[in-house]
Structure 1
Amino acid sequence: MYYLKNILKEKLNEIRHGYLKDMDHLSMVERKTTIFKNPCFIKNLKAGRVNIIAEIKKASPSRGPINTGLDITEVSAIYDEFNSFISAVSVLTEPVYFMGEAKHIAEVRKGTEMPILRKDFIFSELQVYESSLLGADCILLISSLLGEKKLKRLYLLAGALGLDVLVEVHTPRDLEKALNIEACLIGINNRNLRTMQVEPDNIFNILKYARSSFGNKSVGKVLNISGTKSDSRPGYRNVTGKVFVCESGIEKVSYIKKLYDAGINTFLMGSYFMQASNLRNCLKEFEKELKACGLINNMLKAEYGVD
């Protein structure tokens, strides 16, 4: 809780007095006409296969320094080599607790053409404009840190600029807000931001709540809560295009397989890769494990029609 209060205070101070003030000279028309792009993040999450959103971060509040000397461009280029299961790259730009910088987005782009998710604590319209100017394809909005009206306002602004949005939830109330604003990409975070503890079953609890509270009249229209393996669409996606992403505490392929069988096939992974002494070898072993669980074969069959 101490960490969260501090980081919110620092971020709000940064927004009010920091580098974002340099964007004030941009008129609304200039912003809209010079920044707009076509959304590509969600489109790159493939049907019928595992999609890993591979994260780049030098540190985290829960682990402290992880890999402070990493080369951002080199890491993103290695991720690009494994695009059979990595569909996008996430990069932290928060400086105090994650040792991130805004310029890291451009450094990621030098190594890959995959879509980029900017992860930061975003509260301001200026941060949304900045994200687009920096070259991000998607931004993170944390439901628990924003009122529903502010969440919707930032969500709609991002969409107007051609940015996809990952709305992160941890509690039933967070999920309600995400559904109320009609979010298309919803990340269920297994890490409790107040205690920093990982709760691996949280994603199952949230989906169970969705099923029991909304039933077929509501949730059934935004996600396939039956979890049938025959559904080749991305995790719990239906005609409305909503995708659920599992976040935090993912360190075993067996856990991915369990969720994949339940209908979730998009996962955000960071620390597991970042702490590897040899990232390329780590990803090779990870790929082998996916294949051993039948997930690589499932992907090839879905994408190329081969057994």
Structure 2
Amino acid sequence: MTILDEILAKKQQEITELKRSYQRQSSQKKSLVSLYESFQQSDRMNIIAEFKRASPSKGPINVDADPGIHTKMYDQFGANAISVLTDQPFFQGSMEDLQRIRQVVDIPVLNKDFILDEIQIDRALDYGADVILLIAAAMNPARLEQLYRYATGLGLEVLLEIHTEEEAVIANDLNANIVGINNRDLKTFNVDLATTERLAEQIKDPATLLISESGMKTTADVERVQQAGVSGILVGETMMQSNDLKQTFNELRIPLNEVSLHDR
């Protein structure tokens, strides 16, 4: 059994409990912030800075970080969006982290979790997310499309995560407008930036916003994925472990060139 299999099995247990106990919050229409639109307007590499306490591969990263204080600094130093890892058993996150972050930033907030059911999408909206993550590797294409349509029907945006050529085909078929290419293999947790280089060219629509996820540590890393046509990066461990967040943002927020914007 892979790490992903373990996570998904645990997540199904969580969903069963959620369906038993979760009460929808106010159905009042929320004003959502578009990650897609704001990223398209930027002339620098867009950074989704992640609040991530721990991971299955690295163990504790920054377990005691205060979500409000930490992500307020992200916002201050140039983050274009915030990703919040809300899985508890494997990443030590919580929906309360997301709720707290929503209170202190106005930029788009991504609920990063292993979403397999509509009730998780309802909860993400209730707690203040603008965007949710859907992972192609976590379900069959028909179920992925159901959840994609459900989320967008609520006004949420979807970051559709892919890792293989087969999943790139699924993203194209869905006409997903925000595609995240995960350089980390969720079965082995190995990281390889060549994944972005290989898969970016498989996404057919030039209007698709491409995000490279995992493995961003240096300016050279960002320059490498930018050449593949990426105009956004998701950065977790590097941000959570940084001793100088301002400097880290300065190193990663490189100017976007025309390749990223038009020439895939």
* TM-score in terms of structure 2 length: 0.90
Report the residue type matching 1:41 in the other structure. Answer: L
> Could you give the per-residue CA deviations for residues 241-272 of structure 1, whole angstroms, max 9, x where no partner exists?
x2010001111111112222443120000001
Which one-letter code corresponds to 2:238 in the other structure? Y
Identity of aligned residues (%): 33
- 1:194 matched to 2:187: yes
Cα distance in 2 for partners of 1:132, 1:288 equals: 32
* CA deviations over 1:11-60 (Å, ceiling 9, x no partner): 001111x1342346x5xxx98x5355445222221333210000001101
Flag structure 2 segments of 5+ consecutive residues without an equivalent.
258-264
- Residue 98 of structure 1 pairs with residue 97 of structure 2: no
Contact 2:178 2:211 in 1 (8 A): yes
Please state which structure has a larger fraction of its residues in helix: 1
Distance 2:226 2:250 in 1: 17
SS of alignment partner, residue 34 of structure 1: coil
Q: Give, in whole Å, the separation in 2 of the partners of 1:151 and 1:134.
A: 22
Question: 1:190 & 1:20 partners in 2: Cα distance?
Answer: 33
User: Which residue identity lines up with residue 248 of structure 2 in the other structure?
Assistant: F
Q: Is the 8 A contact 1:35 1:133 kept in 2?
A: no
Q: Residues 290 and 76 from structure 1, CA distance in 2 versus in 1: closer, same or farther, beyond 3 angstroms?
A: closer
Q: Please identify the structure whose Cα radius of gyration is greater.
A: 1
The two structures, once aligned, show a CA RMSD in angstroms of: 2.1
**Which whole-Å CA distance do the structure 2 matches of 1:73 and 1:106 have between them?**
9
Quickly say closer, same or farther: Cα 1:39–1:155, change in 2 above 3 A.
Answer: farther
Q: Give unmatched runs, 5+ long, in structure 1.
A: 212-218, 224-237, 300-307
Q: Tell me the equivalent position of 1:167.
A: 160
Q: How does 1:62-211 map to 2 (within 5 A)?
A: 62-83=57-78, 86-208=79-201, 210=202
For 1:37 and 1:112, the matched residues in 2 are separated by 14
Instruction: Name the structure 1 match of 2:42.
Output: 47
CA distance in 2, matches of 1:138, 1:288: 25
Q: Name the CA shift for 1:53/1:74 in 2 (closer, same or farther; >3 Å).
A: same
- Partner SS state of residue 192, structure 2: coil
Name the counterpart of 1:274: 240
Matched residue pairs, number? 256
Matched, 1:284 2:246: yes
Determine the C-alpha separation between the residues in 1 that align with 2:2 and 2:142: 26
